[in-house]
A and B are shown apart, each in its own frame.
Chain A
């Protein structure tokens, strides 16, 4: 197996000089343009390469007019730099924004280039090669120019990396520190121009645009740092250049399109399969999230069933507890995970690990409620729904952060104790308002938050944690109570069932 594979790679290089120079040129161009593409992508200037490369046609035409083939390189370089500077100048000194400035200059220069070519009809210019490249026709002198400019560009990026990094993330800070922004801007345009001109032979004016966008955009999906983004983009650029060249050699595809198609394929792969930001990863993560929500809600429900005083909500989980088979399957999964024990007649109870996990969920839920109430001023009745959603999304570090910001609170806004990390749920010795002895002065310890309508009513009536409460009269359906020293109130038993009362202390609020 090894023998023929190596032959496929090395034979063309050994046998044909044009393959050697072609490969060297393509790799240099792929590498350089990929690194620059990262800067363009993070600066939202991806089309600057597009603009300059179109304008370069004018330089090619004029350069040839003056000095034939020898003039092409310098003509192209001069026009590239000039057009880039002109674009920046227009943007800085008029209300015209960058995108419009680029559109004007690149179409104008491109059209002028085409006009010059159509009038002078230069013999030595093959428009197709200029536009789409002919990497296998790279001469040694071209290769040397390409490599000099390519490695010059890379050296500048490496030496000035910190400046480019800061400037591309926060241009205002760069300016505030007194960095010479204009210098960086023109440096970028200069590097871009050199790369585009160097890429003329390898991929051509039109296709270099792709190489100045695609590798960077692909790498953005795969990395979280500019440094690694550049390395990954460089790898993509080099692989696309090499692969494209061999495709071109063996399948007789034009080299420029072959290189660009490979880079595009890399982007599509990353778009679909990137570990965190890819389409597939996001679908998988949503699924996993949905399952986690189910698991975590089930644990809470079981905890609640075993420990009615926890006063947790069951409303959201009721829906699927009714669907027996789904519940059963889910319970078996929890058993496999060691979180519950199932007995033969279908009963379930939490294992020690399951209890711990449920307590962690309760802690999360209540801390989020505290945070939403204290820090964001969300009204009491809304807290439960918000916490119910966020408790599955927040990660342990984020939760610790909230805990510290709040000063490690011990009760949630409904009066429920927040279990400490790794600790149990604090017991509160009391009764529901429905069971509270007539005429005894009590104090509201906590209020149940599972019914939004009842919660709204409690807020309205002022039945809130720490308020003093006395039951005056009780019937089967409702109670008459006094909250603090206000007038008597009618409350439904439904509501009274959700108010948990302890003997009044000195802190009870009248």
Chain B
């Protein structure tokens, strides 16, 4: 599953958030999207998922239009965007990942139940399956969200800042799982402001500051030259157009 983005431009209140973004996130690798605050990292993910309307852009997965592949894509929102007082138990939320697999009006199949228990097991939440979601720690909540994506059996995963406010042990567990998924052929894209986790987890990176500065294998692009360009540059033409 290779995700390719062509000519993606998104405008917020007449001000370009990202401009002419083109990149490829190859299957079998964890791709990090790196850039300073306001670089448009989360905007890219949201535009790819169709959560906000781009001015232009084509999104393809394995050469097919994104819309056809939508149900095999999983998006993990920022943890704090969700209401953790919502009346739901851990297993139920993970089972939401099965939504695209279930037929209207049918009871969950054996495959559905298996996928949910497997996902819970892989993130180590089996014993917490009947907890109310608000009783989980931040790290456990993030693991639950990844379990939901696992239950969805998504082949493309887009994660928006999954490591914010999460302890190092959970980060290690999550990055391990993401690397495993990529090794099994999935395309994993992680928006992340922390360079340290990016460099340990990602094999591929896209450096972004409203435009793509560079992209490629992690060792080739995580150099001080490229990073300086990404973090220092502000595009005058974009700034002045507001």
Contact = CB atoms under 8 A, between A and B. Distances in A.
Interface in A395-449: 397-398, 400-402, 404-406
A228 B102 CA distance: 22
A175 B210 CA distance: 25
Contacts of A398: 137
Interface string A135-178: 00000000000000000000000010010011011101101111
Contacts of A226: 86-88, 92
B89 A224 contact: yes
Interface stretch (B15-23, B66-74, B218-226): B66-74
Interface string B85-106: 0111100110010011010010
Kindly state the interface size class of chain B when it binds its partner.
35 or more
Question: Which of B87, B100, B169 has the most CB atoms of chain A within a 10 A radius of its CB?
Answer: B87
A166 B50 CA distance: 18
A229 interface: yes
Interface in B131-150: 132, 137, 139-140
A166 B51 contact: no
A298 interface: no
A165 B132 contact: no
Interface stretch (B2-10, B57-65, B75-83, B194-202): B75-83
Contacts of B87: 42, 220, 223-226, 228-229
Contact of A406 (B49, B75, B81, B169): B169
B163 to A, nearest CB: 12
A225 B89 contact: yes
A431 to B, nearest CB: 34
Contacts of A44: 83
Given A44-B83, A162-B99, A406-B169, A176 B124 contact: no
Given A42-B86, A169-B93, A401-B128, A176 B75 contact: yes
Interface string B147-176: 000000000000000000001111011000
Contact of B82 (A166, A170, A175, A401): A170
B96 A173 contact: yes
B127 interface: yes
Contact of A165 (B49, B96, B105, B170): B96
A398 B137 CA distance: 9
Contacts of B137: 398
Given A159-B105, A169-B83, A228-B87, 20 more contacts: A162-B102, A166-B96, A172-B51, A176-B75, A220-B87, A224-B88, A225-B89, A226-B86, A229-B87, A374-B168, A374-B169, A375-B168, A376-B167, A397-B127, A397-B128, A398-B137, A400-B127, A401-B127, A405-B169, A405-B172
Interface of A: 42, 44, 159, 162, 165-166, 168-170, 172-173, 175-178, 220, 223-226, 228-229, 371, 374-377, 397-398, 400-402, 404-406
